[in-house]
Amino acid sequence: MESKTADKDVRRWVTESAESQAAPDGRTHLVISLKTTAFISSSQGVPAKEVEITALKQGIIPSRYFRNIGTIGLDGQIKLLQSTVAVAGVGGLGSTVIELLARQGIGHLIIIDNDRFTEQNLNRQIMCTEGNLGEYKVTVVSRRVKQINSATTVTTFRERLTRDNAEKLLGSARVVVDGLDNLSSRLVVEHACRQLAIPYVYASIGGFSGQVMTIFPGDVGLSSLYGSSSDTVPEQGIETKIGNPPATVAMIAAFQVQEVVKIVTGVGHPVRNRILFVDAREFTIDRIELGR
């Protein structure tokens, strides 16, 4: 009863605080500002995320998501706010993925990494700065997410993902995103996601090129590319010779985030049972249908 009253109060506050705002196409929408969201959250004792969801359910757009809605709709934004996404690894891909997911308005992020930032991360790991070298990555990125989106809650694990802990760390996620920089950890994550029946958005890069694939339980996956025997899996790839430049990381991380958005909102079609090759050197995009 108390909870229902609180919900009603939040709805009332949201409705009474809404203001009209014109979209670029000239149509007007009811919106609620960040400041008002924070005030209602604080005065009513409910998380900012719940205030935003309440607003969206009444057709009122939190201003911060105003430019998201045309792409995914109000329902899509609600689904994103209600979702938990795990990012396995805070490498180049993982850093940019986290930045974009926070801006997109994912409700809860699980971030797993046991490393600290080093100078070699400065070229591509978007949250690595000269001032935070030596800090644990999960500490820095958690702080960054809070700066970007106070409605997104963050759970961090300063651990290395292993076969023993993967299912425990990833178990509550709706989607797991690859933020790793080595194949053996990716195989661990893929295995855990299959066990947990969670889709896994795989990606990797080298030089001007990168590749992306979403693996649902039952889909073909990394064994079609690298083989089923762990004895034949390459430890390192051509990136040791041609590098991991920042723009390639950003480009492929953006594709990963699109996959997450599609999976969670149901808008569009994830890249399943095929691998997407993106090559910025010649600017080509290819898809290879994978078999078993």
Partner 1 sequence: MALITVRFYSLWRSYLGTDSATLQADNIEDALAQLEERFGPRLRKNLEAAGIHLDGKIQDYSLILLNGVTLRNLKSTALKQGDVLHIFPPAIGG
Site residues for partner 1 per CB under 8 A: 89, 91-94, 178-183, 203-211, 220, 223-229, 232, 234, 236-244, 249, 274, 277, 279, 281-282, 284, 286, 288-292
Residue 58 or 240 with smaller CB distance to partner 1:
240
**Amino acid in the structure at residue 165:** N
Residue 24 or 291 with smaller CB distance to partner 1:
291
What is the smallest separation between the CB atom of 153 and partner 1, expressed in angstroms?
Answer: 25
Residue 158's CB is within 10 A of a number of other CB atoms, namely 14
290 in Cβ contact with 225 (< 8 Å): yes
String of b and e for 65-87 (b: at least 16 CB within 10 Å)? beebbeebebebbbbbbebbbbb
Tokens at residue 230, please?
């762990």
Residues 102 and 111: their CA atoms lie apart, in Å, by 12
Residue 49 or 137 with smaller CB distance to partner 1:
137
Residue 43 or 240 with smaller CB distance to partner 1:
240
Residue 92 or 199 with smaller CB distance to partner 1:
92
What is the smallest separation between the CB atom of 186 and partner 1, expressed in angstroms?
Answer: 8
What is the smallest separation between the CB atom of 271 and partner 1, expressed in angstroms?
Answer: 14
Residue 37 or 244 with smaller CB distance to partner 1:
244
What is the smallest separation between the CB atom of 75 and partner 1, expressed in angstroms?
Answer: 32
In which residue are the tokens 């709805």 written?
11
What is the smallest separation between the CB atom of 241 and partner 1, expressed in angstroms?
Answer: 5
Residue 129 or 284 with smaller CB distance to partner 1:
284
What is the smallest separation between the CB atom of 281 and partner 1, expressed in angstroms?
Answer: 5
Task: Give whole-number Cα distances, 189 to 18, 81, 211, in Å.
Answer: 43, 24, 17
What is the smallest separation between the CB atom of 219 and partner 1, expressed in angstroms?
Answer: 12
Distance of CA 127 to the CA centre of its chain: 15
Task: Give whole-number Cα distances, 177 to 87, 122, 142, 193, 284, in Å.
Answer: 5, 22, 16, 10, 24
What is the smallest separation between the CB atom of 242 and partner 1, expressed in angstroms?
Answer: 7
The Cβ-side half-sphere exposure at 34, using a 13 Å CA radius, reads 9
Residue 38 or 233 with smaller CB distance to partner 1:
233
Hey, which bits of 121-255 come out as E strands?
A: 153-157, 175-178, 200-206, 209-215
Tokens at residue 183, please?
């194949």
Tokens at residue 100, please?
């974009």
